[in-house]
């Protein structure tokens, strides 16, 4: 463990380029031993000290939950990276040291589901790899639907084919193949749960299709960690800390507050978990809500903000921090 009890010091013990855009990293605890237990669907936050700033990005754990001598993550190089994915791709080598936060699961498998239908798009396959490890041992039926641009973009395909056989259904955009969402969701037995991770359009389509087919909300699970969008620079005043913080266009509100030395609780850093919810005390301008946690009504009230992904523009923003 590092000095900071919140994080664990790890060393990169393996890197493999698995598609033109995705690298696979293996992380082992510095000094040996075991890493904390986790279940399929968990993610960790990787802390990266870049040249100009600290990055803290969430990545799903994709190795077996039974194998705790190392963790595995997959990192897609984002074209519009604010630095984190480029740092992982360009600066991190075998032997590099990183800090990681303890695993958190916001995308776990339902324990009483009668069947699981897993749907992934692109890098969205990563949380399912560990979930599939969990599903192997159980008697609950499941199927995996995985959509990619083309065969060269199908990360971890060999591993999936070897283990899943006929349970794996592949769809290649390059060959005009599309997941038949309507048929898939209209023909499942009662008690089935569906899980989706991938581009926002795919997630929204699955949620809407499931609703139209009469699925209860509790049986539809999705994971989308939005990278914090860039936006206009703005100033924020932290009322309890009595400091003003400048938020540059390419830094999130949460990152800017942390850089000023003020801690905000977080789990996902992607606008999903609700942990970073912060009270807005004064606002002269607009909040730019980018999270998936607050309801539309709460967003309209403007009394709360999720600083991991949301921003503001206007003359004044005062937060209860
Ligand atoms: S940290 Fe999860 S919503 Fe902000």
pLDDT value at 286 more than 60: yes
Q: Is the CB of 155 under 6 A from ligand 1?
A: no
d(CA 284, CA 314): 6
Q: Is the CB of 308 under 6 A from ligand 1?
A: yes
Q: Is the CB of 275 under 6 A from ligand 1?
A: yes
5 falls in which pLDDT band (50, 70, 90)? low
pLDDT value at 166 more than 70: yes
Q: Is the CB of 195 under 6 A from ligand 1?
A: no
What is the whole-number distance in angstroms between the Cα of residue 225 and the centre of ligand 1?
9
242 falls in which pLDDT band (50, 70, 90)? very high
d(CA 90, CA 47): 15
Q: What are the two backbone dihedrals, phi and then psi, of residue 121, each rounded to the nearest 5 degrees? A: -125, 120
What is the whole-number distance in angstroms between the Cα of residue 254 and the centre of ligand 1?
9
pLDDT value at 1 more than 70: no
Q: Is the CB of 291 under 6 A from ligand 1?
A: yes
Instruction: Provide the H-helix boundaries in the chain.
Output: 84-86, 126-136, 157-164, 181-186, 200-212, 253-259, 296-301
Nearest CA to ligand 1 atom 3: 271
d(CA 125, CA 148): 10
* Confidence (pTM): 0.91
Question: What pLDDT is attached to residue 273?
Answer: 93
pLDDT value at 2 more than 50: no
Measured CA angle at 83 (ends 269, 252), to 5 deg: 40
Mutate to test the pocket of ligand 1, among 274, 311, 321 (most ligand atoms within 8 A of CB): 274
Joined together, the tokens standing for residue 29 give 């605890």
Ligand 1 atom closest to the Cα of residue 276 is: 4
Kindly give, in sequence order, each residue whose CB lies less than 8 Å from that of residue 97, ignoring residues fewer than 6 positions away: 9, 10, 11, 12, 30
Interhelix angle 157-164/126-136, nearest 10 degrees = 20
Average pLDDT over residues 124-136: 95
Average pLDDT for the chain:
93
**Which of the two residues, 81 and 9, has the higher pLDDT score?**
9
Average pLDDT over residues 223-238: 87
Question: What pLDDT is attached to residue 136?
Answer: 86
Domains recognised in the chain with CATH numbers: 7-105 (2.40.30.10), 115-223 (3.40.50.80), 234-319 (3.10.20.30)
Ligand 1 atom closest to the Cα of residue 308 is: 4
- Which of 77-86, 89-98, 195-204 is least confident? 77-86
Average pLDDT over residues 189-205: 96
Question: What pLDDT is attached to residue 3?
Answer: 39
- Strand duo 192-197 + 220-223: pairing: parallel
Q: Is the CB of 228 under 6 A from ligand 1?
A: no
Q: Is the CB of 266 under 6 A from ligand 1?
A: yes
156 falls in which pLDDT band (50, 70, 90)? very high
pLDDT value at 272 more than 80: yes
Average pLDDT over residues 233-253: 95
Average pLDDT over residues 175-199: 97
Q: What percent of the chain has pLDDT over 70?
A: 98
Mutate to test the pocket of ligand 1, among 43, 268, 290, 298 (most ligand atoms within 8 A of CB): 268
Q: Is the CB of 237 under 6 A from ligand 1?
A: no
Q: Is the CB of 274 under 6 A from ligand 1?
A: yes
Q: What's the DSSP call for residue 229?
A: P
Q: Is the CB of 288 under 6 A from ligand 1?
A: no
**Token pair 């803290």: residue:** 56
Joined together, the tokens standing for residue 131 give 């979930």
Average pLDDT over residues 63-89: 89
250 falls in which pLDDT band (50, 70, 90)? confident
Question: What pLDDT is attached to residue 4?
Answer: 46
């Amino acid at each position: 463990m590092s000095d900071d009890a919140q994080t664990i010091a790890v060393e990169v013990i393996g890197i493999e380029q698995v598609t033109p855009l995705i690298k696979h990293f293996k992380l082992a605890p510095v000094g040996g031993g075991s890493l904390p237990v986790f279940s399929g669907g968990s993610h960790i936050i990787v802390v990266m000290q870049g040249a100009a700033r600290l990055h803290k990005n969430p990545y799903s754990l994709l190795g077996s939950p039974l194998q705790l001598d190392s963790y595995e993550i997959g990192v897609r190089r984002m074209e519009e990276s604010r630095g984190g994915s480029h740092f992982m791709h360009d600066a991190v080598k075998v032997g590099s040291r990183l800090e990681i936060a303890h695993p958190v699961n916001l995308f776990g498998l339902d324990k009483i589901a009668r069947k699981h239908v897993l749907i992934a798009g692109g890098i969205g396959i990563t949380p399912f790899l560990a979930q599939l490890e969990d599903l192997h041992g159980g008697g609950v039926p499941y199927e995996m639907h995985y959509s990619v641009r083309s065969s060269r973009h199908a990360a971890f395909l060999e591993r999936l084919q070897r283990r899943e056989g006929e349970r794996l259904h592949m769809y290649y955009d390059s060959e005009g193949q599309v997941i038949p969402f309507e048929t898939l969701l209209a023909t499942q037995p009662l008690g089935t749960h569906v899980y989706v991770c991938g581009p926002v359009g795919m997630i929204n389509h699955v949620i809407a299709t499931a609703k139209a087919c009469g699925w209860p909300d509790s049986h539809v699970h999705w994971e989308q960690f939005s990278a914090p969008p860039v936006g206009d620079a703005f100033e924020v005043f932290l009322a309890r800390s009595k400091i003003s913080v400048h938020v540059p266009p390419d830094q999130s509100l949460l990152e800017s507050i942390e850089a000023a030395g003020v801690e905000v609780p977080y789990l996902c850093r992607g606008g999903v978990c609700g942990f970073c919810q912060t009270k807005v005390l004064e606002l002269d301008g607009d909040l730019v809500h980018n999270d998936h946690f607050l309801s539309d009504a709460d967003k309209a009230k403007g009394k709360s903000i999720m600083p991991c992904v949301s921003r503001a523009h206007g003359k004044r923003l005062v937060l209860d921090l």
